[in-house]
Amino acid sequence: MFEREDETVERVIQHLRRPVAIDPGLDARVMREVAQVPREGRRGRPLWPLLAAAAVVATVLVARPWNRTAASNADTLQFVLVAPQAASVALVGDFNDWDPARSPMQTAHGAGIWATVIRLAPGRYRYAFLVNGVEWRADPNAPAARDDEFGTPSSVITVGGRGS
């Protein structure tokens, strides 16, 4: 009886392992979409070789990760991170294709308070801070992205709805 049942499942497995025909045009569609990604997004800086050498000791002390400063269809949001020993911080997220070149954060008075202001249409976005070009940090004062599939920490912001 058990042998017969195992045989049935094995037969299912062999059946499912057969190749499945995928539309031959899929590759071209992917490459067409990829070609529309902004040029700077395509050139994402090679970060991985530097990871091992990274020795970022900045402590995140952020109290207000972002503040709404205007309300309209698109909200103007200020993202803030306290990282006193960071040499650079960039805001990356769904809204800028995770491209650190598009939302660099500025520090004022050398106090290690990094900030940037961006406008976001209503929606749910995942984001993170990229410190010194190598260290991904989630926002310590925002909900963590539970469905993040990229393997690096990130946070969630909902604009124009509850929770924003």
Partner 1 sequence: MGIHKVEPSDAELVRRVRAGDTGAYGALVSRYRNRLGRYAVHMIGDREDAEEALQDSFVRAYRSLARCDDPSRFGAWLYGILVNRCRTTGARAARRRRMFVRDAQALDGAAHADRADRLDWTDAVDRALARLAPDYREAFLLKHVEDLEYEEIAELTGAGVSALKMRVKRAREQLQKYLREAEHV
Q: Which residues bind partner 1 (CB under 8 A)?
A: 5, 8-9, 12-13, 15-17, 19-20, 22-23, 26-27, 29-31, 33-35, 37, 41-48, 51, 92, 97-100, 136, 147, 149-152
User: Minimum distance from CB of 25 to partner 1 (Å)?
Assistant: 9
Of the pair 34, 61, the CB lying nearest partner 1 is at 34
User: Minimum distance from CB of 9 to partner 1 (Å)?
Assistant: 5
User: Minimum distance from CB of 135 to partner 1 (Å)?
Assistant: 11
Q: If residue 68 lies in a helix (H) or strand (E), which one and from where to where?
A: strand 66-70
The Cα 90–Cα 81 span in angstroms is 10
The Cα 81–Cα 74 span in angstroms is 22
Of the pair 18, 109, the CB lying nearest partner 1 is at 18
Of the pair 51, 121, the CB lying nearest partner 1 is at 51
Beta bridge partners of 124: 158
User: Minimum distance from CB of 29 to partner 1 (Å)?
Assistant: 6
The Cα 86–Cα 46 span in angstroms is 19
How far, rounded to the nearest angstrom, does the alpha carbon of residue 84 sit from its chain's CA centroid? 23
Helical H segments across 58-162, by residue range:
none
